[in-house]
A and B are shown apart, each in its own frame.
Chain A
Amino acid sequence: MIPVWQIHRHALVWLLTAFSSVILLHVGHLPLWVLLAAAVTIIWQVQRYRGVWYTPRRIVKYGLLALCLVGLLLEYGKPVGLEPMVALLVSAFILKLLEMEHQRDALVVVFLAFFVATLQALFNQSIVSSLSILGCLLLVIAALVGLYQGVPEGGDGASQASQVLRPLRTSVVLLIQAIPLMLLFFLIMPRLGSFWSVPIQSHSAKTGMSDDMSPGNFSRLGRSADVAFRASFEGDIPRQYQLYWRGLVLSDFDGRTWSRTDPAMYEQDNLLQWFGEKEKDWDALIERKGQPIDYSIILEPTQQPWLYSLPTPLPKSRGVGLTRDFRLLSSQPITSKTQYDVRSWLDYQIAPQGLSNRHRSIALQIPKGYNPQSLALARSWRNNISDDLLIVQQALSLYNQEFSYTLSPPLLGTHSVDEFLFETKKGFCEHFSSSFTFLMRAAGIPARVVAGYQGGERHPDNYLVVRQYDAHAWSEVWIKGRGWIRVDPTAAVAPERIEFDLESALADNEGYLEDSPLSLMQFRHINWLNKIRLRLDSLNYQWARWVLGYDNIQENLLKKWLGEYSPLRIALVFLIIGGGLLGGIALWYLRHIFRSEHDELDRVFLQLCKKLETAGIHRNPGEGPRNYAKRVAELKPEWGREVKAINAAYEHMRYGGESQERLKVLKRAIRKLK
């Protein structure tokens, strides 16, 4: 017999399966050599079990440990961030499997597997990823069950096979029973929020907008169909040309690149108004008009703190703040899908009376020595035209006449604005907004570049999907008496871009979606594929809203269900529903306790006895049915025949085999007895 502490064959099968599945889960962000090491370890375990290879000696183990550490150092340099941490854990996981010999080691492997599988959720929270984690957990649980399942000696092939599969079966049963309870916990357990900040330094390339704008930035995004965010509106979705999602305000220009004025300035408290805080004095600058619109946004991870919103927003979620230039900022970089609620007023006036000197000078700053031609052009406009709005019109009509809109604009040199305005005349939104803002500043009109997204695809389920190719840049100019107003020079060149979408604005489709060759967006002209695409997106959206963003709706939802969200009520719900669920499962397993000792035939016979007893003929202890029937016939001759017939039928069925029809006949006969 195998000693209790040793790992038997069935357990090993499941351990190795679970191990491989957990490694495969992380395949996307593990160095190749770690995968190789995992493969070698599996082979080593199999060979060790077959008695071909030995358990590695201590010196080998320590050598491998050192090798792994060196490998990780070479791979990642500084060991900070999520990926090196996971790689380290996975290495430990692999080394532990290598030295696995006793049940105790196997337990450590199983617990590591639980943990490492869970870590995958930090990288990716999509439905597919979550389901694969669930699948992995299923196998890990099977491995755990396998460890405690005894192995019967002998047995033929079929029973052996069923023995091997038994841990998986048990695991499936356990999971199916655990999932309702899990849902209960998930819905009701209060979320506490971070205890300490955990910066995730992901090494994966950041998609999405960077915090500056130079020629080429946005045309790169135009090639990607990745989702940037989804927005669902409480009322109707505003018109397409109103959908300007402001993300960043860029005021600093060095002749080529637009950047934020001073990143540090947002740290100053008086320039940020967090959700729930008292209004800052600069809030008086804005006048919000008309009906506000409410909407919530589920943002894909950007690794950046800024958030997108329609002008002009007020945050309605924790951890979101309003900046002095009326955009939204998150307290932490967005490292995972995040949901936040916003209220926006599309009709507004910001600082119509006048700008402070400081802000005026920021909005008029232009680098010396760059773009002399454009500078001269703007000065000539200034000299001829006194009205600022007419100068704006002048610039827009210039674009409208001679310029074209393209995803692959020619490269630009030092005087990027001059070259674009007077030579190439082909560009994407960043070229237009950049040159326009420069012209305005040169003409003495305060102006700034705004970067964000424009438009979005309307989904049948009344929400909007904004993709990377919707990235856009436009300008804002300050006009006395009107305040800051939005001017989109791209609209003067390619109005289709604003009215519809990027695809209709591009004449020849060049470069469009080039970076997403397999995206379903490529095939949206095929009707049924497009329907599938929309369904999938809807599923993703619901997942993001109900699972990933559940924190945001939990409180309101629970208030609706429970009336009040108090610890006592939470505990009660746990006890009642959770206890009910567990009790239900227990009843199912212990159901035979409640089953009567007698079978149906006996019950029918006892019914007869009861009837006879009420007539005054008691069955003596130990008296068989036949004798009893005889006695009944003697004492109550009018019943004699029937009782004897019933008894005969009972005996026939008891010893000859029952059938449902006969049982029915018997029941009827007993009922008739009066």
Chain B
Amino acid sequence: MIKSFGQAVQQLFLHWAYRRVPPSNSISLGNSNLFIFPSKVGFSFFLLILLCWLMATNYENNVVFAITCLLTALFLVGILHSFINMSGLSITFVHATPVFTGETLSVEVMLSQKYPRYRNGLRLSFDGSEITTASIQGKENVRVRLSVLAPKRGHYNPGRLKVESVYPLGLLRVWTKIDLNISCLVYPRPIFDLHEHLNTSGRGEGALQRDEGSEDFVGLKHYQPGDSLKRIAWKQYAREQGLYAKHYADYQDERIWLDWDALPGLDRESRLSVLTGKLLKVAVTNQYYGLRLPALEVAPDSGETHKLRLLKELALFEQPSSINGKAEKKRTNERKFKKSRTEKTVS
């Protein structure tokens, strides 16, 4: 009961705190969004002050009394110093490299400040991620990488970034939880080992020809630096006809379709995982491949851009678009919250 009450109080506080710190790409810390409270060490410090005060009073010793006063004053001055260590710091979301579900996402944020001040012991973390410490000096910008596990595909928001510091005395904790509008693309977890379901279609001859093959000899081209030494036409060179390189080409007679419908009996996420796995496999060969999803078809192509596009389609398949989704979720939360509060007042 006490626990639930405590949780309710905490939720009330978080609700209030989050409303004070609205989401934004770049947030500057200051009075409006920083919170400060004695840390556990700070409460132990109170005990120390109390002990010194008892000693001073009981022994009627004014030097001990002066020390007690000094420790108290130190704590009060410490409040300012703790606050100043964070106030005026700007935090900006830079970018996050897309990863596959289950991998560690690396989110990069930038710390900057308008007025040079030495800030120390800044600890940044997402919920459940490791804490990264940082310090900043002068007008330089400091980039901080935060690692967070990507739990599901789609546009992933790792939640609010907690920034806290107990510098310089450790007696007070200054913290804030900011929403930097972070959105990282998370691809489905690839599955490689499922039986081969590469669906090939449209066998044809010579329809597509690509330059950098290795099967059939096409002709000679002037050697250019960077061409493989194995391909130098040594015969022609020996005849002093100049330096040529032999060129071969593959005949792309297969266009590979990564097909949703070719994977019957699997649920949505597994299908996406298998398709992702196949895509990765195909992408390292130089084959052309396309993607067929319900209500979406991407024509075969190859190359890095194509691969990333397909991965994105897989990641976002049947996902609500990120911003709307979050707003939606937030709204329902708030509604729930309000509802529970009114219920409480009624009962």
List A residues at the B interface (Cβ < 8 Å). 4, 107, 111, 114-115, 118-119, 121-122, 125, 129-130, 133-134, 137, 141, 144-145, 147-150, 152, 166, 170, 174-175, 177-183, 185-186, 189, 191-196, 198, 200, 335-336, 547-551, 578, 582, 585-586, 589-590, 592
| Contact between A4 and B131, CB atoms less than 8 A apart | yes
Q: Is B8 an interface residue (CB 8 A)?
A: no
State which of A107, A137, A192, A194 has its C-beta within 8 Å of the C-beta of B67.
A137
Query: Which positions 67-82 of chain B face chain A at CB distance < 8 Å?
Result: 67, 69-74, 76-81
CB atoms of A149 and B167 under 8 A apart: yes
A-B residue pairs, 9 tightest by C-beta: A181-B73, A185-B69, A121-B63, A178-B73, A182-B73, A182-B70, A182-B69, A178-B74, A145-B168
Say yes or no for B54: interface residue by CB 8 A criterion.
yes
Task: Check A118 against B67 for contact (C-beta < 8 Å).
Answer: yes
Interface residues as binary, B105-134 with A (CB distance below 8 Å gives 1, 0 otherwise): 000000000110010111100000001011
Stretch at the interface among B44-52, B211-219, B252-260, B298-306: B44-52
| A357 to B63 alpha-carbon distance, docked (Å) | 49
Q: Please, how many angstroms separate the alpha-carbon atoms of A78 and B170 in the complex? A: 39
Q: Which residues does chain B contribute within 8 Å of A133, judged by CB atoms?
A: 63, 67
Contact A148 B120 (CB under 8 A): yes
CB pair B60–A194 under 8 Å, yes or no, is yes
Q: Which of chain B's residues have a CB closer than 8 A to the CB of A179?
A: 70, 73
Q: Report the nearest A residue to B118, measured CB to CB.
A: A166
B57 at the interface (CB under 8 A from A): yes
Q: Give chain A nearest CB distance to B282 CB in angstroms.
A: 39
Assembly CA distance A119 to B122 (angstroms): 35
B87: CB under 8 A from chain A?
A: yes
**A121, B61: Cβ atoms under 8 Å?**
yes
Q: How far is the CA of A179 from the CA of B115 in the complex (A)?
A: 28
Please, how many residues of chain B have a CB less than 8 angstroms from a CB on the other chain? 50
Q: A598 CA to B59 CA in the complex, in Å?
A: 58
Determine which of A122, A182, A590 lies in contact with B61 in the assembled complex, contact meaning CB atoms within 8 Å.
A122
CB pair B59–A578 under 8 Å, yes or no, is no
Chain B residues near A118: list those with CB within 8 A.
Answer: 52, 55, 64, 67
Contact B57 A191 (CB under 8 A): yes
Docked CA distance A590–B79 (Å): 14
Please tell me if the beta carbons of A186 and B41 are within 8 angstroms of each other in the complex.
no
A548 B131 Cβ-Cβ under 8 A: no
Q: Which residue of B lies closest to A550 (CB)?
A: B62
Closest A residue, CB atoms, query B47: A111
Residue of A at shortest CB range from B40? A107
Closest to A124 in B: B63
Residue from B87, B118, B120 with most neighbouring chain A CB atoms (10 Å) = B120
A65 to B288 CA separation, bound complex (whole angstroms): 75
Contacts A/B (CB < 8 Å), 19 sampled: A4-B123, A115-B51, A122-B59, A141-B74, A145-B167, A145-B169, A148-B169, A148-B170, A170-B81, A174-B77, A186-B69, A191-B57, A192-B57, A193-B57, A194-B58, A551-B62, A582-B79, A586-B80, A589-B84
* B166 contacts A by Cβ under 8 Å: yes
**Contacts A107-B41, A186-B69, A195-B57; is A148 near B63 (CB within 8 Å)?**
no
If A107-B41, A119-B55, A582-B79 are given as contacts, then 6 extra A-B residue pairs at C-beta distance below 8 Å, sorted by A number, are A134-B70, A145-B169, A150-B133, A178-B77, A198-B58, A585-B80
Q: Across the interface, which residues of B come within 8 angstroms of A147, CB to CB?
A: 170
0 or 1 for each of B126-149: is its CB under 8 Å from A? (1 = yes): 000001011100000000000000
- Closest chain-B Cβ to A451's Cβ sits at a distance in Å of 27
Nearest CB in chain B to that of A187: its residue: B69
Assess the A148–B76 pair: CB atoms within 8 A.
no
Query: Quick one: which of B14-73 are within 8 Å of A by CB?
Result: 41, 44-45, 48, 51-52, 54-55, 57-67, 69-73
Q: Which residues from chain A contact B81 at a C-beta distance below 8 Å?
A: 170, 174
Q: Is the CB of A582 within 8 A of B80?
A: yes
Chain A residues contacting B55 (CB-CB under 8 Å) are: 118-119, 122
In the bound complex, how far is the Cα of B76 from the Cα of A141, in angstroms?
14
Does the CB pair B169–A174 fall under 8 Å? Answer: yes
CA distance A592 to B84 in the complex (A): 12
Known pairs A137-B70, A141-B169, A548-B63; A4 contacts B80 (CB<8 A)? no
Q: How far is the CA of A141 from the CA of B81 in the complex (A)?
A: 14
Complex contact B60–A181 (CB within 8 A): no
Shortest B304–chain A CB gap in Å is 32
Least distance between A576 CB and chain B CB atoms (Å): 15
The answer to whether A125 touches B63 (Cβ under 8 A) is yes
A191 to B53 CA separation, bound complex (whole angstroms):
10
Known interface pairs A114-B71, A582-B76. Does A150 touch B121 (Cβ–Cβ under 8 Å)? yes
